[in-house]
Amino acid sequence: MSPDDLSGSTRRAFLGSATAATALTLASSAGAEQTPTMVHGPDPTKLAQLKTNPAAEPPSAPKPGDWTKPSAMAIPKEGYFQLEQGRYGPIFPRTPANYGFTIIAKIKPGREATVREYGGTIEKAVREQPDVLAPLRLHYLRWVIFDVGSGPHFMYQGIFDTDFDKYLEDAVALFVKTGINTVFVNLEGWPDDWKTNVPAVIKFFRDHQRPSFLEYGEYPYVSADEVKKALRVKGALSAMLDQMQ
């Protein structure tokens, strides 16, 4: 065997082992169930049954914490399955896409341009300090302005890893700490004393929330930290494999 063949064989073997190790790491961090090691091999009778009747053992449904199977969740109109009171109102469930909300509110007259400019304010803040929004444990934010005939409205969509109320508490604390004003001051109904009146802020969000009726996750119930951890592992493995060439 030539040195090149040996190197290729070693690289392939290492890649297989590393891939398996990465999968185990992700399954562990996301809470996936582990299958016990089979000691005596599969049961020939069960194998024969599966061959003659493939529908005997249908695929198992994805469970919370199992990131290996895409999952969808239909949500009642109220935004929750069972009424359970939290600190400020009903507790909304964690979905395959994690926690989130969609806020729709009318923009104050003459403030549309200010709302749009605020997108640049956030872009600049994140560019200068990439972890400035880290306390919010966000996956994504999406801002939209639209007009249905009664004036421009602002839609704020967020996906994050904390519950609804904690996200809002953390957001108020973050903006007070950093001194960055919030885009919501340009919306009708926003409390003037928002920096010191968290309950009023949360009431605004709950009054203007439009709950989802369907949420889907390609890799359900995975936190942003777990995604970043997996990407760091992938980067480290790629660097190690490059060194073996």
Closest by Cα among 193, 155, 163, 161 to 89: 163
Q: Return the C-alpha torsion angle 211, 32, 137, 18, nearest 10.
A: -140
Secondary structure E strands in 47-173 = 71-74, 99-106, 138-147, 152-160
How far apart, in whole angstroms, are the C-alpha atoms of residue 195 and residue 181? 10
Instruction: Give the pLDDT band (50/70/90) at residue 65.
Output: low
Q: How far apart are CA 146 and CA 19, in angstroms?
A: 45
**Whole-number Cα distances in Å, 191 to 121, 186, 196:** 21, 11, 10
Pick from 22, 156, 44, 174: nearest CA to 100: 156
Q: What is the mean pLDDT of residues 133-157?
A: 95
Going by C-alpha positions, the residue among 103, 102, 97, 104 that lies closest to residue 74 is 97
Q: Shortest CA distance to 63 belongs to which of 97, 22, 31, 25?
A: 31
Supply the Cα-derived Rg of the chain in whole angstroms: 24
Looking at per-residue pLDDT, the higher value among 119 and 66 belongs to 119
Percent of the chain topping pLDDT 90: 56
- Please check whether residue 137 is in contact with residue 122, taking contact to mean a CB–CB distance below 8 angstroms: no
SS (H, E, C) 86-121: CCCCECCCCECCEEEEEEEEEECCCCHHHHHHHHHH
Per residue in 147-192, pLDDT (tens digit) is 989 999 999 999 999 998 899 899 889 888 877 778 999 999 999 9
E strands within 194-240?
Answer: 214-217
pTM for the whole structure:
0.70
Q: What percent of the chain has pLDDT over 70?
A: 73
Q: What is the pLDDT of residue 175?
A: 85
Which of 222, 106, 238, 121 is CA-nearest to residue 179?
Answer: 121
Altogether, the residues listed in the chain come to a count of 245
Interhelix angle 198-208/164-178, nearest 10 degrees:
130
What value does the mean pLDDT take over residues 34-62? 43
Neighbours of 205 (CB within 10 A): 21
